[in-house]
Amino acid sequence: MILLLSLTIGLSAIVVFPTFSEAQSEQKTFVTHSGAVIRTTGEVIDPLYTVSTVDFDPMEYLREFNYGDISELSDGTTVREFTIIAEDDKMMEVSPGVFYNVWTYNGTVPGPTIRATEGDIVKINFINNGSKEHTIHFHGIHPSEMDGVFEAIGPGGGKFVYEFEAGPVGVHPYHCHVMPLEEHIIHGLYGVFIVDPKEGRAPADEMVMVLNGLDTDFDTENNFYAANTIPFYYQHHPIQIDTHELIRIYVVNMVEFDPINNFHLHGNLYKYYPTGTDLVPSFYTDMITLSQTERGIMEFEYSYPGKYLFHAHKVEFSEKGWVGIFLVTDNEKQDVGEVDYGN
Amino acid sequence: METNHKSSKGKMIASGIIPLIFLIILTAYVFGPGSDLLDLGVPLPEISMELIDFVDSEIQVTVRNTGPIPVEVVMADVNDRIQPSAIEPDRFLERFETALVRIPFEWNESEPYLIGLTIEDGTRFEKEIEAAAPALKPDLELIGLFAIIGTYVGIIPVMIGLLWLPFIRKISKRKYHFFLALTAGLLLFLGIDAIEEAIEVSNENLSDSFNGILLVVTVTVLSFLGLYYAGQKLIDNAQLSRLSKPLAIALMIAIGIGLHNFGEGLAIGAAVGLGSIAFSTFLIVGFALHNTTEGIAIAGPLSKDNASTRSLIVKLISLGLIAGSPAIFGAWIGGFSYSPFSSVVFLAIGAGAIFQVIVVLFRMIREEGDKNLSSASVVSGISIGMLVMYLTSILV
């Protein structure tokens, strides 16, 4: 009886008097949007300016193009062979402290950027190591059986070889096309497929930006937005470019739930080639609007050095992570080194 | 004979302990390490934002882990836009632990805000504030203001009610029973009112894990039993001490009403704290009228006290203070450090106190002859008491 009584009293004491963890004596400071300096004895929870240790490196992804294992057919056609492995069990820290179950092609969201020249044969050895059925559906021109829709590849090592001629010229998404489709896309099974024209494009500092969102609480509303998955990443790791150098961005909108996304560039305008299928730009603008899987190529040069923002002008998206900075320098060859922004 | 007695006592202890041992084994088996018997389903994390303060260029959120598992609070947002913030003492919250999230934000007065917190699994919790208002700072002026409000709501109306004492003293036994029953009716209404209020606060601000209604019921019953026991001791010892029996009963009523007025003070302080000034002026006038009837409740039993006029005045003033002044403390706590959990607890304690007083009053009437509590004076007294309370409550 006494035991029970003391147990009850003990438990109710725990309920009534919340236990505070040991306060840390060390003072920390952080800077807000408006420049105010805040001091705290606790912890700073700041996905904007905190450099997080994430598994996925958006800076590496930005300029990484995969041309595949190259061989040649007897008629001289180039064959580019890729291996893509799907998985769906990875927990990734997508923003400081936030863990989300990403479904990946070759371990990353987005998957590898696949690049070929128009007319090449693209051969994808697809392996599904996930626990669900997955496929790869390429946007572009190819035979029906290579469309990755009706031939779901089984879990636990299912295999399929996608083989088709690269075309048309432009920038295209690829993604899983297993139902429920939205679920397979929002978890991260997508990537970029670039088809270069045979005559090539002008030399440029080229990059890929996949505009995506993360619905971490599964309420069919995105909690985060980003260029290349990690919110605010290019804000605290500005992308370094040079003045008077042609910049070419392959931009693909993979945001779900919200009908549109957009891309606004500061201090400059860009030539825009919708879907990249035409070699003559359609627009000269600083603002494009993109619906689901809409994509294109942007080309621009900066005349003046300095920091320039690029972000969604749907400001909600930029305040949830889809924002970045170009750090433009005059000196073309000197390595500037990493800039610690905001700290 | 003696050994027999000893062994039977041993048996008794053993028979008391054995089921307890089995209970411990069962608990250890079900919850102990390595047991996956009850490992069904996924425990869902939950946090509750119990208090949101708007201070200089900053929004402060008191958050409690009200779920079944520990959580980490990793991100804050205002109107669904991510904001860099600080969390004190740290972002790890054990069950029922609280932390303070400080969100630097240039908020605008009287605009609505949605405050969101995200935990480590990406789940976002939000709470809506209808109109931002600056948090009250406990400076001397405001402390004084709350003291005046508390006096006006608690002490003065109770004192005014007590002025009916000479009138009640001069009436017949039947009419006296009517006034006791009237008191019981008034209190019955107040008790139900307090329970309703407690359940409302718990529904709005407490997480389900507190089992709001059961919390209210448990605290009310414990409060009732505690005061019932203490009150009985007080009356039993009344002859030994200098307290007369009617005074002891009046004192108990005053204590019960004091606990109740503490809850009212909390409500007023919280209303001022939330910035609804017009609403609180209304509350103050309503409570003042309402509380005059509480003075009658104390005056009822006191009319049988045969003390001299002078000592009676002293007694009246002290009883008035006991019943009325908790409103001041309530207003301070409600205005400066409002916590929904303590509000619910205090309201429930007040309700238990009041029910206890009702039981004592009924017993008083029965001891004086009306065994069935069915005389016209008792029935009409209770009815009129409740009606008066209902009508004055419309003003609040």
CATH number, domain containing residue A185: 2.60.40.420
Contact yes or no for B373/B380 (Cβ under 8 A): no
- Total domains present in chain A: 1
- Closest partner residue to B74 (CB to CB) among A21, A42, A45 is A45
Contact yes or no for B253/B298 (Cβ under 8 A): yes
Whether A219 is in a domain gets the answer yes
Q: What CATH topology corresponds to B47-129?
A: Immunoglobulin-like (2.60.40)
Residue written as tokens 């305040």?
A: A319
Separation in Å, CA of A46 to nearest CA in chain B: 4
H or E stretch at B321: helix B309-324
For residue B120, the chain A residues in CB contact (below 8 A) are 97-99
Q: What is the CA radius of gyration of chain B?
A: 26
Rounded to whole angstroms, how far apart are CA atoms B395 and B284? 10
Strand ranges across the sheet with A170-175: A114-117, A190-196, A170-175, A137-138
Q: What is the pLDDT of residue B347?
A: 79
Burial class (CB in 10 A: 0-12, 13-18, 19+), B326: buried
- Closest partner residue to A98 (CB to CB) among B16, B57, B74 is B74
Q: Which two tokens stand for residue B243?
A: 């307290």
Residue spans of beta strands (DSSP E) within chain B = 47-55, 58-65, 71-78, 81-83, 85-88, 92-93, 98-104, 113-119, 124-129
Q: What is the pLDDT of residue A53?
A: 57
One pLDDT digit (tens) per residue for chain B, 396 residues: 555 666 788 888 888 888 888 888 877 776 666 555 555 677 889 898 888 888 888 999 999 998 888 999 999 999 999 998 989 888 899 988 999 999 999 999 888 999 999 999 999 999 888 888 777 777 788 888 888 888 888 888 888 888 888 887 788 878 878 877 887 887 788 788 878 888 888 887 777 767 778 888 998 899 889 888 887 777 777 665 566 777 887 888 888 788 778 877 877 777 676 555 555 566 666 667 667 777 877 887 777 766 677 777 888 888 888 888 888 888 888 777 777 777 788 778 878 877 887 887 788 788 777 777 778 888 998 999 888 878 877 765
Separation in Å, CA of A308 to nearest CA in chain B: 21
Whether A23 is in a domain gets the answer no
Contact yes or no for A139/A219 (Cβ under 8 A): no
For chain A positions 105-144, those within 8 Å of chain B (CB to CB) are none
Tell me if B90 and A99 make a contact (CB, 8 A cut-off): no
Q: What count of other Cβ atoms lies within 10 Å of the Cβ of residue A135?
A: 24
What percentage of chain A exceeds 70 in pLDDT?
85
Chain A residue with Cα closest to B219 = A12
- Closest partner residue to A30 (CB to CB) among B82, B86, B123 is B86
Whether A146 is in a domain gets the answer yes
Residue written as tokens 């809409």?
A: A294
Q: What is the CA radius of gyration of chain A?
A: 24
Whether A46 is in a domain gets the answer no
Size of interface A-B (CB pairs under 8 A): 129
Q: What count of other Cβ atoms lies within 10 Å of the Cβ of residue A255?
A: 26
Contact yes or no for B243/B302 (Cβ under 8 A): no
Q: What is the pLDDT of residue A183?
A: 93
Q: pLDDT band for A5, please (50, 70, 90 cuts).
A: low
Tell me if A22 and B16 make a contact (CB, 8 A cut-off): no
Q: Which two tokens stand for residue A125?
A: 């050895």
Chain B residue with Cα closest to A23 = B89
Q: What is the pLDDT of residue A166?
A: 95
Q: What is the pLDDT of residue A20?
A: 38
Q: What is the pLDDT of residue B6?
A: 66
Q: pLDDT band for A343, please (50, 70, 90 cuts).
A: very low
Which range among A79-88, A166-175, B254-263 shows the weakest confidence by mean pLDDT?
B254-263
**Direct distance between the N- and C-terminal alpha carbons of chain B, in angstroms, rounded to an integer:** 71
Rounded to whole angstroms, how far apart are CA atoms B396 and B391? 10
For residue A235, the chain B residues in CB contact (below 8 A) are none
Instruction: Evaluate the omega torsion of the peptide bond into residue A168 and state whether it is cis, within 30 degrees of 0.
Output: yes
Chain B CB within 8 Å of residue A245 CB? no
Which range among A23-27, A84-88, A105-109, B24-28 shows the weakest confidence by mean pLDDT?
A23-27
pLDDT in tens, A252-301: 999 999 999 999 999 999 999 999 999 999 999 999 999 999 999 999 99
Rounded to whole angstroms, how far apart are CA atoms B223 and B200? 19
Q: pLDDT band for A11, please (50, 70, 90 cuts).
A: very low
B54 beta partners: B59, B134
Q: What is the pLDDT of residue A260?
A: 93
Rounded to whole angstroms, how far apart are CA atoms A133 and A183? 12
List the domain range (segments joined by +) for residue A299: 58-329
Tell me if A216 and B20 make a contact (CB, 8 A cut-off): no
Q: What is the pLDDT of residue A339?
A: 43
Separation in Å, CA of A31 to nearest CA in chain B: 8
More confident residue, A258 or A16: A258
Residue type, B47: I
> What would the mean pLDDT of A34-53 be, rounded to a whole number?
72
Whether A39 is in a domain gets the answer no
Domain boundaries, chain B: 47-129, 140-393
Separation in Å, CA of B84 to nearest CA in chain A: 4
For the question of whether the overall pTM of this predicted structure is more than 0.90, the answer is no
- CB proximity list for A333: less than 8 A, separation 6 or greater: none
Q: What is the pLDDT of residue A163?
A: 96
Tell me if A216 and B98 make a contact (CB, 8 A cut-off): no
Contact yes or no for A48/A66 (Cβ under 8 A): no
Whether A48 is in a domain gets the answer no
Mean of per-residue pLDDT scores for chain A? 87
> What would the mean pLDDT of A60-77 be, rounded to a whole number?
94
pLDDT in tens, A173-231: 999 999 999 999 999 999 999 999 999 999 999 999 999 999 999 999 999 999 999 99
